[in-house]
Structure 1
């Protein structure tokens, strides 16, 4: 059953100001869901009331005017200060940086000039706001000069400078492309990426809003990347992960983020003909129950739904391709929300001049069943479960449904049961066993192996009638039994594997 269902699209007209959408934000006002839309080409910011039936109703628009701060607007930030919702549009082409109030009905008032600055405001490529304790801090980066400027956004709607972090040979802040934040074990952490310098940095935010650099990842570290463009964070089973999209390397990279701010790479995925994130530049994360997902897009006219598995491994679920009635050509922004129990994605395009509402059917996604340090027996139900083996020699049985079985440390026995199952192996075996592989439905995921990238990296033998897959340097083997009958040499092809 497909996950994506296309809803309605809203295209640019003389009254809607949707030419060249550069950014969107979904916000909740008095129990209703609104979409904020920034148009770079028309220097406008609009608000739309959203509903689960796919109808988006225009509420208000702020058009460009002298000192509006919206000329060529490229970035939107929404925050709440003193109980008042505030919109902060940023543009590298406008010397003004203002706030706009938005009421419970989507009506926008302003601009409100931001006083109390040190003269660094204006010509901003982006801004980012976070709430820490009782305070709202805003972090900005100026076009051409880079760096990060930190401000307290107080209840008088003034910006009070908290720090100016300039670009140096060691800070990699020349062209900040994105920022995000996450709270990990009593530490507020701010992450930033520099596009052309190619760096991911993590800062600890102290109680006054100042930044302390904790770690930096460069392109030469681990798998490598080029031109990072977007960041998201997710939490899976108590672990925090950072996902970075890089346009130059057409890649998604996952890092484990530790509470002290350290970053360790755990997965790296390149765009293929089966995915749609070439020139990867747009990410959106969301959670369903205890499972965490990412929507990723770039320049190849579509988007891909991926899940972050418990160890940080990326798993591709489904890809949606642009059509005549959608705005998935050169996607500029993706936002996900829940309206009346429906998971809704709003996808906008800078070239097709509008946005599309898409429903995601996640009803079949079941629970995650975790192993322990003991030798566990894990059993799924009729839903699409994840079984995660962890330590020791485990027995995993997916039951009905399209399950994901992740082996963990030890020699495990994996039974998919009925349904189209995926057996995920990490680079730790020496031997694993699949008891019921179905050639027409099941797959084996070896993307966690750094020594394996192609079907030709494997070879196959028969041992006492059992098909054996030899992985990498023959240090790891998988015994594969069929659900019915026996498997022969040549039965498994490249289509049965994920690399």
Structure 2
């Protein structure tokens, strides 16, 4: 199955100063229209798309209000379609009529989302016995608003759900999706701030009740979940989660009780193109469930979701000089005639790439129903899925995938492949435990093929030529697409005569004024991004990484790395990941997100309102001049909010919370101060004494546990509130130390 570039739809002159922020597809009277919104000038444009790939401009519309068009959602109204445009700063969502000829007209201003501070960036609509409801994410990222919704876009606020962590910590909701299981309806939210996926039951009146959570704390290998969607396949409902920080796609099953269960988890590699994933689209074609994924990896991959929730890789396309696949931010997909049309836009290049897949090339998906069954493919790239033992699989022509998934604990003969083509076909074993390398198979040559044995199971392989097969005829890529380490068509590895590689020489890689992707290796590398929205990955070694101006993603990897986001005010919002090792990270300018990860890290937010997370290890974290959100996470951390009014969550361990003792240092909220864990306040003025402080108690609505007072620590000489401790009324002791003196005093004594 091949993905080809049909054309690039170039913007009109007035739209060339801005990139497309979102797209939507409409089918009206047998015609297909693509609607695109531009970020910088609040414009919508409409194109009629022919089954031959033609794109005809049908009109544009400039919306009133803020400087960017956000997500485009839709509701059906008779034979026509209404477009609901969200994300307009300072404006409520706006309702746009898509007319039969594809032209656009402003119909009205929606009234839902009005309590969220600005229009929501994303929302979901669902029809319930009590009416139609809209679920939207607040501009602050930690609220889900529930509105009753009418076809004209008006709404009435029914309830607001505040999403917090186990200790009341701030949570950044990135995306929501609706999942229906039988008569039950669930809303599932991707919460980036806690690497968590939360499921809610949806009542007939639209109200939400949390059912459960699954995420990194449960061992799920996700980091910064960014996008989520649901799929109903056969008798099962699945949720697909794309996590930008970990470059992963996770499949969660939604059972009848709504408690999510992990089914599959795949990781991007050089053979695929969804690192930094921000976009997922799905399409069912002739019984084959396809999944389209992309992000900052300068390309797009197509996977197939099997009925049991497993993923297999079908095709990948990389960016070229002709296409616009750099830093993809949106995908739309439709079946138009005998082709799949994929519309892709990114944040770097002008235009929308129209990619196509010939439906005939997808091939057949055949699944066994009983043990001993025979399955045959056709002349294209087929998937033969053996869920039972002792099966017989014949692929035929094309690049076929033979999937043996009889379940964990199977023993005996899985079956026979009748016509295997080495280097063309794939043999996949998704349920065999700890299988990750070709060298783990026992391969015995036969007169017309070979027998593969792993543990208690075996597969008989007959070659398509009828000739014997030896171990040298097989490669790593014949068997492994996805596992916990890599995904895609991995390069062959010397598994039979392995020798450790020589240490890598240091790399010195320099970027350009544009969007670059630079990767180090095993040495102590230097990576300089300069201007543009760069992706810099240090990998192994003690690396130096400089993002420069722009919105960069900086990843240290293993080793003690030094990472700097940017040194000028042209630096934008960077995402920085220290990786394993004791790293020094300075966000520089911009409202950055910084994650120390493993090791004892030193993190400096710099100029901006930053989100800082130390994560594992004993970290030293300093906010900066503005109001920051700081998480210490595990370990005995030292946290200095810096100048500004900061929100701080120390996490597990004996943490120290520092204040300079002057007015400009602000008044900091500490969300989880714990005397049981040995937390301590640190006041910089070494001449201060306990009698210089008083502690007042008062209940603050929505701050923490209801009816539990907060503790306000006041410095009497200035009257300033230095710290506000959430639920501080439950403390038995409140320890403080002054300057460099390690002596601790109890302010509650």
Check whether TM > 0.5.
yes
Q: Equivalent of 1:443, from 426, 437, 443?
A: 426
**CA shift in 2, pair 1:287/1:147, >3 Å:** same
The equivalent of 1:309 in structure 2 is 306
Q: Find the residue that maps to 1:119 and give its secondary structure.
A: helix
Asked whether 1:229 is paired with 2:226, we answer yes
- The 8 Å contact of residues 219 and 225 in structure 1, kept in 2 or not, is answered as yes
- The 8 Å contact of residues 369 and 378 in structure 1, kept in 2 or not, is answered as yes
**Deviation for aligned residue 1:489:** 4.1
- The 8 Å contact of residues 92 and 118 in structure 2, kept in 1 or not, is answered as yes
Query: Distance between the aligned counterparts of 2:329 and 2:124, measured in 1?
Result: 18
**Deviation for aligned residue 1:26:** 0.7
The equivalent of 1:24 in structure 2 is 23
Query: Distance between the aligned counterparts of 1:49 and 1:5, measured in 2?
Result: 20
The equivalent of 2:49 in structure 1 is 50
Asked whether 1:492 is paired with 2:488, we answer no
Q: Equivalent of 2:161, from 159, 162, 165?
A: 165
**Deviation for aligned residue 1:397:** 3.2
Alignment of 1:411-430 (within 5 A): 428-430=410-412
**CA shift in 2, pair 1:13/1:459, >3 Å:** same
**Deviation for aligned residue 1:336:** 0.8
The equivalent of 1:90 in structure 2 is 86
- The 8 Å contact of residues 147 and 167 in structure 1, kept in 2 or not, is answered as yes
**Deviation for aligned residue 1:84:** 6.2
Query: Distance between the aligned counterparts of 1:253 and 1:115, measured in 2?
Result: 35
The equivalent of 2:414 in structure 1 is 432
Structure 1: runs of 5 or more not aligned = 411-425
Q: Which has the larger radius of gyration?
A: 2
**Deviation for aligned residue 1:184:** 2.2
Query: Distance between the aligned counterparts of 2:17 and 2:54, measured in 1?
Result: 16
Q: How many residues align?
A: 477
Q: Equivalent of 1:276, from 273, 276, 279?
A: 273
**Deviation for aligned residue 1:401:** 4.3
Query: Distance between the aligned counterparts of 2:265 and 2:366, measured in 1?
Result: 24
**Deviation for aligned residue 1:337:** 1.1
**Deviation for aligned residue 1:481:** 4.8
- The range that moved more, 221-230 or 481-490, is 481-490
Query: Distance between the aligned counterparts of 2:388 and 2:473, measured in 1?
Result: 31
Query: Distance between the aligned counterparts of 1:7 and 1:257, measured in 2?
Result: 37
Query: Distance between the aligned counterparts of 2:453 and 2:414, measured in 1?
Result: 11
The equivalent of 2:717 in structure 1 is none
**Deviation for aligned residue 1:475:** 4.4
Provide Cα deviations, 1:420-458, integer angstroms capped at 9, x if missing partner. Answer: xxxxxx7744543545543343332245445123345x1
- The range that moved more, 209-218 or 297-306, is 209-218
TM-score norm. by structure 1 comes to 0.86
**Deviation for aligned residue 1:32:** 1.9
- The 8 Å contact of residues 82 and 155 in structure 1, kept in 2 or not, is answered as no
Query: Distance between the aligned counterparts of 2:23 and 2:119, measured in 1?
Result: 19
Q: Find the residue that maps to 1:244 and give its secondary structure.
A: strand
Q: Find the residue that maps to 2:275 and give its secondary structure.
A: coil
Query: Distance between the aligned counterparts of 1:83 and 1:382, measured in 2?
Result: 39
**Deviation for aligned residue 1:265:** 1.4
Q: Equivalent of 2:284, from 284, 287, 296?
A: 287
Query: Distance between the aligned counterparts of 1:440 and 1:82, measured in 2?
Result: 51
Query: Distance between the aligned counterparts of 1:382 and 1:84, measured in 2?
Result: 40
The equivalent of 1:120 in structure 2 is 116
**CA shift in 2, pair 1:442/1:71, >3 Å:** same
- The 8 Å contact of residues 81 and 153 in structure 1, kept in 2 or not, is answered as no
Query: Distance between the aligned counterparts of 1:49 and 1:133, measured in 2?
Result: 36
Asked whether 1:150 is paired with 2:146, we answer yes
Q: Equivalent of 1:180, from 177, 189, 200?
A: 177
- The 8 Å contact of residues 413 and 458 in structure 2, kept in 1 or not, is answered as yes
Query: Distance between the aligned counterparts of 2:299 and 2:39, measured in 1?
Result: 21
Asked whether 1:339 is paired with 2:336, we answer yes
**Deviation for aligned residue 1:245:** 1.0
Query: Distance between the aligned counterparts of 2:453 and 2:370, measured in 1?
Result: 27
**CA shift in 2, pair 1:64/1:100, >3 Å:** closer
**CA shift in 2, pair 1:427/1:353, >3 Å:** farther
